[in-house]
Amino acid sequence: MKIDEFKNFEDELPIENEWIIVTNNIKAVNAYGKMSHVWLTSFVIKTEKYRFITFDAAESKIMNLTHWKYA
């Protein structure tokens, strides 16, 4: 995945119920130089406190999402 493939939530929202890859740290990379801090989801919720959120498989809240791209 490349940074330029992602769209900012503030600029454009994805189509509802489509699978998307989201991140809350667009510049994060792992030990191999690959993009990290990414999750696959089919929904995002906009909140006042945490901007955009989703949940992982353990039902943990993933907060402050900034960017997305279609899977």
As to burial, measured by CB atoms within 10 angstroms (0-12 exposed, 13-18 middle, 19+ buried), residue 66 is middle
Write down the pLDDT at residue 59.
Answer: 93
Write down the pLDDT at residue 26.
Answer: 96
Which residues is 46 bridged to in the sheet? 52
Q: In what order do the strands lie in the sheet with 20-23?
A: 7-8, 67-70, 20-23, 38-41
What is the rounded distance in angstroms from the CA atom of residue 71 to the CA atom of residue 64?
20
pLDDT tens per residue, range 1-59: 899 999 999 999 999 999 999 999 999 999 999 999 999 999 999 999 999 999 999 99
pTM greater than 0.85 (yes/no): yes
Write down the pLDDT at residue 43.
Answer: 93
Write down the pLDDT at residue 53.
Answer: 97
Write down the pLDDT at residue 69.
Answer: 98
